[in-house]
Structure 1
Amino acid sequence: MESKCTNQGCDLDHGYLCGTMEALNVPMADTPVVTFWEGEIVDTKNYTFFTGKWGATVTGLGIMSRVEDDIKHWTKFPSFPPLLSQVEADGGKSLDLSNYPYVFMRWKEQYFVNVGTDCGLTIAGFYYVCFSCSDGSINGFYYDPNSSPFQKLELKSTNDGRSGFSFSTYELQ
């Protein structure tokens, strides 16, 4: 499925960002489906690598299972293994990520903007996301215990004459 993603706002002091995703060619929808998402920047000040919300603590399985799911998803990113031992020790709270060449985030779609919930898509889960500071690419993995595991999100940046990065489309596979 092809989609577009737009960042609408960012507050680095509070580790917050938000935006919209527009899914194109959705089989059960007559128009593109737009969702609004909010995100957390893993900065070890406001947020660590352990999720603990957005329904991420699976009922009956306990917090240990959630931490294991977090580790399984973060280790899918090639940029994460150098941080693994510290994350396992304290969630990464003692890491200084300010100069790390990657930014780790979680994105949670909050609601559908232009359609009802009967559009054929779900927003029950959230995304583990990694932004590369060198090339502006974003990779992610969707987590929802009721969906196929490790659905991949890939955004390629486009440079349209402005400074920084912009993203034209991404595909969820």
Structure 2
Amino acid sequence: MPVRVVESNAPAQVSGSDPGNRSPLPRSSLLAAGQAFSGTQNVSNQQKEEAWRVNVQIQGVDLEHGYLCGTMEALNVPMADTPVITFWEGEIVDGKNYTFNTGKWEATREDDLRHWSKFPSFAPLQGQVESDGGRQLDLSNYPYIFMRWKEQYFVNVGTDCGLTIAGFYYVCFSCSDGSISGFYYDPNSSPFQKLELKTVNEGRSGFSFSSYELQ
């Protein structure tokens, strides 16, 4: 399946923003194509405690347009006979291309605030986000990068694998150590499924992931 590294059309700019007065987001060496992360996603509900082992690899990053993409592999999914790999595309919250307001995927502004506020690093920004969506915030030197990751399709299994990719992830990336935390949002799934990842390599090149290769 093809991997689209850069969107053909640049995302629309946020109304009222002035990109000429903004610096680009910090180009952390840990947020780059080929970088891999490993950790867990907690999918517990009221009936049982469960966590899936998860691997993520970034396939492409375009900070100018607030875009990145990658693959996610869930290793111990009970209803699947093989690890399940999905391809996702991400939006980087930079105040120019994307704000903290999602505006799609069935997420309301209240949903946004409930999820962003679960990240301690969001606390200093919350007042401004509640006021105007954070459009006036300068995030160029902020030590964390906030993103949304939306899975687009299954790479190695069919849609009948028992999983859904209808939702998306609210994501917070630490520029200092490359750690990632996230919360999955889907009105029809267990709420606040937590994603926790640590970087496992630096500077890996190529477009391969696990034993699968995207061409």
Class of the TM-score when normalised by the shorter of the 2 chains: 0.7 to 0.9
Higher relative contact order (CA 8 A, sep 6+): 2
| Number of the residue aligned with 2:88 | 37
RMSD: 1.5
| 1:79 CA displacement | 0.2
Identity %: 79
User: Which structure 2 residues correspond to residues 10-159 of structure 1 after superposition, within 5 A?
Assistant: 10-56=61-107, 66-159=108-201
Runs of 4+ in 1 over 2 A off after TM superposition: none
| 1:54 CA displacement | 2.5
Q: Distance in 2 between matches of 1:40 and 1:92?
A: 15
Paired amino acid for 1:119: C
Structure that is richer in strand per residue = 1
Q: Distance in 1 between matches of 2:114 and 2:64?
A: 28
| 1:28 CA displacement | 2.0
| 1:25 CA displacement | 1.9
| 1:42 CA displacement | 0.1
CA contact (8 A) 1:37 1:110 kept: yes
Structure with the greater alpha carbon radius of gyration: 2
Q: Distance in 2 between matches of 1:135 and 1:49?
A: 23
Deviates more, 1:37-46 or 1:119-128: 119-128
Deviations 1:13-66 (A, max 9, x none): 11000000011122222211110000000000000000012333xxxxxxxxx1
Deviations 1:93-120 (A, max 9, x none): 0000000000000000011111111112
Unaligned runs of 5+ in 1: 57-65, 169-173
CA contact (8 A) 1:54 1:108 kept: no
Q: Distance in 2 between matches of 1:141 and 1:17?
A: 18
Unaligned runs of 5+ in 2: 1-51, 210-215
Q: How many residues align?
A: 154
Paired amino acid for 2:174: S
Structure that is richer in helix per residue = 1
Deviations 1:124-166 (A, max 9, x none): 1000000001111000000001111110000011246x49xxx
Give the TM-score normalised by structure 1.
0.85
SS of residue paired to 2:121 = coil
SS of residue paired to 1:79 = helix
| Number of the residue aligned with 2:49 | none
Q: Distance in 1 between matches of 2:130 and 2:81?
A: 45
Paired amino acid for 1:15: G
